[in-house]
Structure 1
């Protein structure tokens, strides 16, 4: 069988597979910066985290205070995997610390890219 129009064949296969370009959803940020950024936050006060994308993580603290960490560089797959680990010998997580993206690989999690943290910016809910 000879293919006379390979470009048409490729386009047909792409359309048949349902592959389409990803369209970014612009959702408004529910938070605004409030006050000066700090270098460290106490680990025992971290209640949860919300990975916003490959460069931003919101740390939800006890008392519902939120600190946003904007990494100095993007961290590959952080926004997709939305999970990470860290190690520190201190009781604080600081801007000099490194996080490691955790990949879901079969029966367990595997380490992915390691990336440095930035400063922790206090945030508050944006006015409606």
Structure 2
């Protein structure tokens, strides 16, 4: 008997009004521990797009993971929104994100993730 694989689709939170500050402001990050290949979906509190290459994932319990994409993902910094599909309960480095464009509402570039590096962000 074959069980269909269901894909979970999640959309990153749109930047809050307080995030309207300079989009080029990327807080310094100090690595703490070994990079991980996956993080649990249920623990992701929010994702913060910092540039076309950098996304910070804030987790429950105030842990932060920084992902530095192998190449820039066109439109990611401008739109600051993306979707992903996975058949697992985790988001992993081999997964693909897709930029969500607002006007007109459509899918933009698709880009591969990288390792999730636990970090402490500068204040």
State the aligned residue count: 102
Cα gap change, 1:25 to 1:112, in 2 (>3 Å)? closer
Relative contact order (C-alpha < 8 Å, sep 6+): which is higher?
Answer: 2
TM norm structure 1: 0.73
Greater helix share, 1 or 2? 1
1:87-123 per-residue CA deviation (whole Å, 9 max, x = no partner) reads 00000000000000000024xx311000000000001
2:29 to 21, 28, 31: 31
For residues 61-72 of structure 1, the aligned pairs below 5 Å read 61-72=59-70
State the superposition RMSD in angstroms: 1.9
| Cα distance in 1 for residues equivalent to 2:42 and 2:59 | 9
Structure 2: tracts of 5 or more residues without a match: 1-21
| Cα distance in 1 for residues equivalent to 2:74 and 2:24 | 20
CA drift at 1:25: 7.9
Structure 1: tracts of 5 or more residues without a match: 1-23
Of the two, which has the highest radius of gyration? 1
| Cα distance in 1 for residues equivalent to 2:71 and 2:24 | 21
| Cα distance in 2 for residues equivalent to 1:47 and 1:72 | 24
Cα gap change, 1:70 to 1:28, in 2 (>3 Å)? closer
Q: Which residue number corresponds to residue 90 of structure 2?
A: 92
For residues 71-90 of structure 1, the aligned pairs below 5 Å read 71-90=69-88
Check whether the contact 2:26–2:50 (CA below 8 A) recurs between aligned residues. Answer: no
Query: Runs in 1 of length 4+ with deviation above 6 angstroms?
Result: none
TM norm structure 2: 0.76
Cα gap change, 1:25 to 1:115, in 2 (>3 Å)? closer
